[in-house]
Amino acid sequence: MAKIKRIVRFGIIGCGLMGREFASAAARWCHLLDLDVQPRIVGICDANPAMMEWFQSNFESIEIATQDYHELLASSAIEAIYCAVPHNLHEQLYSDCLNAGKHLFGEKPFGIDMAANTHILSVIREHPELFVRCASEFPFYPGAQQILQALHEERFGTIIEVQAGFLHSSDLDPAKPINWKRRIATNGEYGCMGDLGMHVLHIPLRMGWMPRNVRALLSNIVRERPGPNGVLVPCETWDNATLFCEVQHAEQHFPMTLETKRIAPGESNTWYLRIIGTRYSAEFSTKYPRSLRFMHYVPGKAQTWQVQDLGYQAAYPAITGAIFEFGFPDAVQQMWAAYCDELVNRERMQQAFYCVTPEEAAQSHRIFTAALESQRSGQVIALETELEESTTRS
């Protein structure tokens, strides 16, 4: 007999790119095995009604479709909200969701800037009964999960260096029209860091690698783009950022380089993590989604990088055979499985890797704010780490 699953009734605010990814993941939930929880999309909201049509023609479960998110928040049929809206709306909408008593899955950067993020965290603290996490799906790729396992097993020895990054190239085309992600008013002064940085920091912050200091090099490469009527308008946000960080954690002390780039020629959506250690090194990139490169160092033996072909070895077991490929929609679904599993089962969740906590999102804001200061001053900016090293869940 089929197991009865706990249904979590969701409302989606923001029916754009990521709102659809969630809905699609929920629609093929049967893909996952052995999970005692399932999301159901019962409410949708978008300021632009045309964005809701795809949902309405594909989801019979939708009971409320509205342009005013307050209607979703007032509905007792909805217990959790996925909010995927432009960054300038995070502070108001996330706070309103929480004050309405809804669990929240927010998108990064979890507030357009440090002040917005600090306010969101203060509202979260007023609602300890609510469960809040921030999106970041790439660490759910099997290659990233393998590296996490190696970290937990302390296979690396002394860590020599960490490099993590997220690279895009669609902004290389100067004719690409301006959109909200290229304006400071809607995307924020962090630019590419706010857009891409939480993905890069999820695993480092989970490992407790809050940097002691940051030296940033930021660049604005394409400074104008066609506006709605084709006339060039300022494109103000940082396109590329490289952050050089010093990490001191437990006995480990190493440099960590974080790259977030919207103009990286040839890279369509490359998330990568590379950890070099004295005993073991490993790297994974979504560019080669089934390959884990690693090297065991044994003194006196050949230093040989090996490539392991990974299949569908996901955190949450699925119907896909272990030899087959894993892709972006799978990572999104695994992230949603982790959110729903943790919402319902808390510390007894089925596997150990949980979504970004609000505290980790707050740490990312401290790093990006320091990076902006470093760019302005040309200096290395120190960060307080003592209170930050805990990865305690809340």
Ligand X SMILES: NC(=O)c1ccc[n+]([C@@H]2O[C@H](COP(=O)([O-])OP(=O)(O)OC[C@H]3O[C@@H](n4cnc5c(N)ncnc54)[C@H](O)[C@@H]3O)[C@@H](O)[C@H]2O)c1
> Distance between CA atoms of 236 and 39, rounded to whole angstroms?
38
Considering only residues 28 through 67, tell me which ones interact with ligand X, judged by CB under 6 A: 45-48, 51
In this structure, what token pair is assigned to residue 197?
């940085």
Give the binding range for ligand X (CB under 6 A) out of 81-89, 166-174, 247-255, 309-317.
81-89
Helix (H, G, I), strand (E, B) or coil at 191: coil
Identify the residue among 12, 85, 216, 258 touching ligand X (CB under 6 A). Answer: 85
- The size of the interface with ligand X (CB under 6 A), counted in residues, is 22
> x/- contact string, 248-287, with ligand X (CB under 6 A)?
----------------------------------------
Smallest distance, ligand X to C-beta of residue 392, A:
24
Torsion of Cα atoms, 221 then 226 then 232 then 237, to 10° = -40
156: left (phi over 0), alpha (psi -120 to 50) or beta: alpha
Tell me: does residue 184 bind ligand X (CB under 6 A).
no
Regarding 191 and contact with ligand X (CB under 6 A), the answer is no
To ligand X, the closest distance from the beta carbon of 192 in angstroms equals: 11
Q: Which of 91, 96, 113, 195 binds ligand X (CB under 6 A)?
A: 195
The minimum distance between CB 307 and ligand X, in angstroms, equals 26
Instruction: Give the range of 16-24, 200-208, 225-233, 279-287 binding ligand X by CB under 6 A.
Output: 16-24
Q: Is residue 26 within the footprint of ligand X (CB under 6 A)?
A: no
CB of 254 to ligand X, least distance (A): 27
Give the HSE-up count for residue 271: Cα atoms under 13 Å, Cβ half-sphere.
Answer: 23
- Least CB distance to ligand X at residue 210 (A): 22
Q: Does 108 bind ligand X (CB under 6 A)?
A: yes
Give all strands (DSSP E) within 72-167, no chain letters.
80-83, 103-106, 132-134, 159-167
Of 55-63, 80-88, 224-232, 282-290, the window that binds ligand X (rule: CB under 6 A) is 80-88
Write down the least CB distance from residue 257 to ligand X, Å: 21
Bond into 109 cis (ω within 30): yes
**In angstroms, rounded to a whole number, what is the distance separating the alpha carbons of residues 232 and 235?**
9
DSSP string of 54-118, one letter each residue: HHHHH-TT--EEES-HHHHHH-TT--EEEE---GGGHHHHHHHHHHTT-EEEEPTTSSSSHHHHH
What are the tokens at 142?
């099997």
With tokens 């660490």, the residue in question is 139
Which residues make up the interface to ligand X (CB under 6 A)? 13-18, 45-48, 51, 69, 84-87, 89, 107-108, 135, 137, 195
